[in-house]
Amino acid sequence: MLPNKIINNSSGDANMACSQSENGFVSSFSLFPEKAVQELLQSPVQGSDDHLIEFSETLRTVAKALRRVAEGKASAQAEAAVWKHKYELERARHQQFENRGKSCPELQPDHDDMRTNNPINRHTLCNETKERSERCCSRNGICSHEVLRDGSPDSDSKMIRKASFKLSWCCKGDQSDQQKHDIVSFERGNITTAQRSSKQISLKWESSPQTVLILTKPNSVSVQILCAEMIRWLRQQKELHIYVEPRVRVELLVESSYFNFVETWKDDKEISALHTKVDLVITLGGDGTVLWAASMFKGPVPPVVPFSLGSLGFMTPFSELNHTSDSEHYKECLESILKGPISITLRHRLQCHVVRDAAKNEYETEEPILVLNEVTIDRGISSFLTNLECYCDNSFVTCVQGDGLILSTTSGSTAYSLAAGGSMVHPQVPGILFTPICPHSLSFRPLIMPEHVTLRVQVPFNSRSPAWASFDGKDRKQLEPGDALVCSMAPWPVPTACLVDSTNDFLRSIHEGLHWNLRKTQSFDGPRES
C-alpha cells in the first residue's frame, strides 16, 4: 500500500494528468504528480525487502508460466507438423495406388461386359476379378479376404463380413511401410501376439570371421599374458587379423617383435570406421571392459564375446580364465563361437542429448551420447535437493525432488538402479527404467517405461542449484536451470555372446554375482501341521 501522505497529496493536486498511451492503456506513472513521486523515492518505505522478495517470486512464477506456454505451443506445432506429414504420405500412397490401377489394365473390370445382361458373363467376370484381386493383395501381405472366410465349400455365399485390419510395430519417424515389423497376427478376427521378445536369438555366420578386436582391462599382468597367448593362437591356428588398442600394441611389442602384425588405430576418425573392419570383439576384463567396448562404437556394434577377468560379471558369462591351469578353455570357447551358431543377447542402449536453454529448438543439441547401463542426473556437490521436471512424449510425468534420477536400460537394471531400489529386469525385455535416487516422498516408486518413448528431464528455472548428468559413470556434464536431457532408445544394440542362452546367463549372474535369495534351508525337524 502507498503511504497516506502520498495519497493525500495526489488527491489534492490539480495538475495531475491522466495521459493515455497510443494503444489505449493509461500510463501508471501519470496517475501520480511529480512531487508525490519524489517524496515516495526520498521517504523510506517499510518492509521494502519483503516486497522485493515477493515481487521476485512473482516474476519467477510468471517466467515459469511463460515457459510452459512456449513449450505447449512448440509441442502443438510439432504435432501439427507430424499430422501434416502423415496426411501427405497417405495422400501420396493413395495417388500411387490410383496410378498403379491405371497402369495395370488387368485389374480394371471390363465395363462393356458388366453392362451386358448375360448372367453367365457376369458370374465369370466376378470370379476373374476376385482371382485378380487375390493375386494383387498377396503381393502386399495378408489381406482380409484370406482370413474372413468360414472355411465351407461354398465360401462365396457364406462370407463373414468384418472390417479388415492390420496391426504392426514401427519406430518413430519411419517414412515407409517397409521398415515396419508385424507383432500380431490374426485369423478370423482373433488377434494373437507374435512373441517377438520371448524367443532366444541365435547368430549364424554366413561367412567366417576374418578380423577380431581384443580389448583388455589395463594394469593387469595376468590379462596381458593371456592376451598375448590368445593373439598368438588366433594368428597361427585361425589366421585372423587382430586389432588391439594402441596401449596394448606397445605392450606387445615391448615383449616381442613377433607381434608386428597386430594392427591398431591412430585417431577418432579410424575408431568411427572400426565397425566396418571388425567382425568380432573379445573383451578380457569385467563389466567395465564391456562398457568401454560399447562406448567405442557410436553406431552398429559387432558381436561381443566377454570373458570374465574382473570383479563384476553380470555381462561376462564366460568363466574366469587362468593361463596356467585352464589354457585350453578359451580355445574351446572361441572354437565354438567362430564356428557358430551361437546364442546372443541384444543389450539395448540409450541415446542421450543435452539441450541447452540457449538452443533455438530441440534439434540444436550437443553430440549424442550412447550408454549401455544408465544415465544419472544428481545434485552433485550441492546441499540442496535436486529439482527435475520429467516428461514422457510431451506428457508430464512427475517432478523429482531428492538426490537425483536414474534412467537405466534393462542391462543396467542390476547396477546403480538396483542399488537405488529398482527392479531386476531381463536384459532382452525392451524398456527404460525410471528410478529415483532417495526421493523426498515415500510414495515415489520406480517405473518401467516402454522402449519407444522419449523421456525429457529438465532443470526448472526456479531450481535452487544446477544438476549434474553422468553417462555410464563418465562424461559428467552440468545442467543449468533451463537445460534439459532427452533420452530415447538407440537403434544399435550391443550383441553379446551367451554361454548357454540369455535367460540361463541372466539367472546365473544374479545367483552368483548377487547371491540372490540365498539363505539357509528351513530345518525339517521343526513343528508340523497335524
Residues whose CB falls within 8 Å of the CB of residue 364, separated by 6 or more in sequence, listed in order: 355
* Cα separation, 192 vs 211, whole angstroms: 42
Cα separations in angstroms, 473 against 410, 415, 452: 16, 11, 24
Candidates 110, 154, 287, 403; catalytic one? 287
What cell was used for 194? 507374435
Kind and range of the H or E element at 187? Answer: strand 184-187
What cell was used for 274? 572400426
What cell was used for 12? 489534492
Nearest to 407 by CA among 482, 478, 487, 481: 487
DSSP 181: B
- Tell me the one-letter amino acid at 309: L
DSSP 20: B
DSSP letters spanning 327-378: TTHHHHHHHHHHH--EEEEEE--EEEEEE-TT-SSTTS----EEESSEEEEE
**How many CB atoms neighbour CB 151 within 10 A?**
7
Chain-centroid distance of CA 167 in Å reads: 23
Cα separations in angstroms, 512 against 292, 303, 522: 23, 24, 21
DSSP 316: -
- Total residue length of the chain: 530
* Cα separation, 74 vs 277, whole angstroms: 43
Place of cell 538402479: 417
Cα separations in angstroms, 71 against 77, 191, 439, 458, 462: 10, 39, 26, 12, 16
Chain-centroid distance of CA 35 in Å reads: 65
DSSP 423: P
475 catalytic, yes or no?
no
Q: Assign 3-state DSSP to the chain and report helix, strand, coil percentages, each to 5.
A: 35, 20, 40
What is the three-state SS of 147-173?
Answer: CCECCCCCCCCCECCCCCCCCCECCCC
Taking a C-beta distance cutoff of 8 angstroms, is the pair 369, 376 a contact? no
Taking a C-beta distance cutoff of 8 angstroms, is the pair 130, 114 a contact? no
Residues whose CB falls within 8 Å of the CB of residue 343, separated by 6 or more in sequence, listed in order: 200, 201, 202, 203, 497, 498, 500, 501, 502
If DSSP codes are grouped into helix, strand and coil, which group holds residue 174? Answer: coil
DSSP 396: E
Instruction: Quote the radius of gyration of the chain (alpha carbons, Å).
Output: 34
Q: Which residues are catalytic?
A: 287
